[in-house]
Amino acid sequence: MVVRGCGVVGESKSGGQLEELSTGLTGARSASSTNPQPGWSCCYIFGRMLFFQVQASQMNPTIEIKILDERLREWGLPQYQSALAAAIDLMACIDAPIALKPQEPAILIPTGIALHMNSGKLCAVILPRSGLGHKKGLVLGNSAGLIDADYTAQCFISAWNRNPAGSGEDITVNPGDRIAQMLFLPVVRPEFSVVDVFTATSERGEGGFGSTGIDR
C-alpha cells in the first residue's frame, strides 16, 4: 500500500493488480468504477484524505482487550457509536475533573484499557474526536498516538487545549467523558533495498514542501 497524493494505491497480498482511489465531490471512487468499493476505508490525517484497502481476512480481526478500570463495566466498554463508524470512542478514566488550560503542556489521561492485537499486520491510532477538536479545541498533544501491536500496557490519551493562551477557554474533562477515538489500521512493513540511484523517476521528483502548490 503506497500513499500517493490524496489517494492510496493498494496491492493485494498475492501481488495482484493495483487499484487506485481518488477523491471527488461524491466521495471515494475506484479508478474503474463510480461505486464505492467494499473493503476500502479512509482516514483524514494532517490535511489529507488517505485511503487504504483491508483484505477480507483483516476486516474482522479478533483483538483482546483488558479492562483496567472497573468503572468501564458500568459506563460501557469502548464501542462504535454508529453502524458505519470507523473508530471506537475512548473514555477518560480519571478520578476527578481535570481543567485543561489553553496552551499548557498536554496531560496524559488513562483510557482504562490495554490491548493485545497479536498481529504485526495491525496497529491502532488514537485521534481527536472531530467535534471536540473543531468546536472546543480539545486535541492531542502528539497529534496522533500510535499503538504498536506489541504494546500491551494501558493506552493513554495525550489531551491538549489548543485554544489561544490567555483566552480563558479552559476545557474541563470529567470522569467517563468520551474525549478521543481509536482507529485500527492495517500495517505494511516493507523490506528495504539500499541503492545509489532509484530504478525509476517520478513526475514530482525531489520536489517537496509546497512544490505542488495549493491551487486546484
Give the cell for residue 92: 477518560
Q: Could you say which DSSP state residue 95 is in?
A: S
Give the cell for residue 208: 517537496
Asked if residue 109 lies in contact with residue 172, where contact means CB atoms within 8 angstroms, the answer is no
Give pLDDT tens digits for 97-110: 999 999 999 999 99
Q: Taking 60 as the threshold, does the pLDDT of residue 9 lie above it?
A: no
Give pLDDT tens digits for 53-87: 555 555 678 899 999 999 999 999 999 999 999 99
- Please state, rounded to an integer, the average pLDDT across all residues of the chain: 80
Q: Taking 70 as the threshold, does the pLDDT of residue 28 lie above it?
A: no
Q: pLDDT-derived band of residue 41, with 50, 70 and 90 as boundaries?
A: low
Q: What share of the chain is helix, strand, coil (3-state, %, to 5)?
A: 5, 40, 55
Q: pLDDT-derived band of residue 37, with 50, 70 and 90 as boundaries?
A: low
Asked if the 64-186 domain carries CATH number 2.70.40.10, the reply is: yes
Q: Taking 70 as the threshold, does the pLDDT of residue 118 lie above it?
A: yes
Distance, in Å, from the CA atom of 61 to the CA atom of 118, rounded to the nearest integer, reads 10
pLDDT of residue 98: 98
Within 8 A by CB and 6+ apart from 50, the residues are 3, 6, 8, 42, 43, 44
Please give, one letter per residue, the 3-state secondary structure of 57-86: HHCCCCCEEEECCCHHHHHCCCCCCCCCCC
Using a pLDDT cut of 70, give the percent of the chain over it.
Answer: 73
Winning range, highest mean pLDDT, from 3-7, 23-27, 136-140: 136-140
Give the residue-averaged pLDDT of 30-41.
46
pTM over 0.85: no
pLDDT of residue 213: 77
Sign, Cα dihedral of 100, 103, 108, 113: positive
Domain boundaries, the chain: 2-58, 64-186
Q: Taking 90 as the threshold, does the pLDDT of residue 156 lie above it?
A: yes
- Between residues 180 and 36, which one has the greater pLDDT? 180
